[in-house]
Structure 1
């Protein structure tokens, strides 16, 4: 168990130090973390709405931080190039994220083209019915993305690496809340890049 925790701490630290220098990115991760925590609570009550919130707000703000605000120049703090960081990233690097976000965008388009998903679903009742179908589709996508990448890590490394990564992904909102709760205020004070080490 101690090895699992050490491995989890290492994955979290690598993710933070390599991919969260921008305080705009950290602030968006804080928004994402808060939204994900609300979505986790809603998951037991209304999975479709929880998924719409998670993908529509939490994931878009989170990925916008990575795609648009995180520096891709040479990482002088960690003495690593962007190419090197992408090559060693265990989870979803930017290429895999582009693929995932493309599939995410395709879900509402497919359901718009075939609202019953070729007869597999009941016909949606108006716009809300359509949105609920999209939410459930995104929920399956989210779970599937975690399971598929975890299985890939099982094959590429070992079972523990895959389980640690999946645990990290599921618990990221709580960890991000803790790490980045001060980022919005620091951003408002004029800071742009985080040069502090995480506690």
Structure 2
């Protein structure tokens, strides 16, 4: 497949396997808006952009996956939750737990070691601490994407890795397109997407 064909396939698989809940879709819409705001803010205040991206945008996305997406047998795709977790191209729930543990550990480590193993210098007041947390979180995002991208080189191929990385960075825009109607469906009482339309 070409780059664009594989990108389309990865996006469709991600949607149909992991975004059936209208609540999850709505949270992804809110997350997408927050991520786009963070993308813009990065040119003004990188640390603030990272704080917005991780605390608001990322948490909204993961709350949707962990608490609202069904974990039982997937009748739409005829697949068990375990099978979907095993074939997940990106970060499945187990890998997300590890990533979130690293994310949470960063401010704790920085609290006990303000220099963060010698990376930062000088005294650290409250605002400096928050700024430094933001900077470390800013690095964590691309490192996590790069780590999984290189991992995909070995378990699949380079194209799959590059496609997945492109998908991750463009997900906020794609989520706006996919889920802008989700709050309306939710208000009508529709809790799950029937997945009929191939987007």
TM value normalised by structure 1: 0.96
Give deviations 1:162-196, integer Å, cap 9, x for gaps.
00000000000000111011111221221111114
2:126 matched residue in structure 1? 127
What is residue 173 of structure 1 aligned with on the other side?
A: 172
User: 2:69 & 2:142 partners in 1: Cα distance?
Assistant: 26
User: Where does residue 143 of structure 2 map in the other structure?
Assistant: 144
C-alpha distance after superposition, 1:29-67 (max 9, x if no partner): 000000000111111221101100000100000000000
Matches within 5 A, 1:16-27: 16-27=15-26
Is the deviation greater in 156-165 or in 188-197? 188-197
Structure 2 counterpart of 1:117: 116
Matched position secondary structure for 2:2: helix
The CA RMSD measured in Å over matched residues stands at 1.2
Three-state SS of the structure 2 residue aligned to 1:108 is helix
SS of corresponding position for 1:160: helix
Secondary structure at 1:61's aligned position in 2? helix
The answer to whether 1:78 aligns with 2:85 is: no
Is the Cα contact below 8 Å between 2:114 and 2:124 reproduced in 1? no
Conserved? CA contact 1:28–1:65, under 8 Å: yes
Aligned residue for 1:89? Answer: 88
Question: Aligned pair count?
Answer: 198
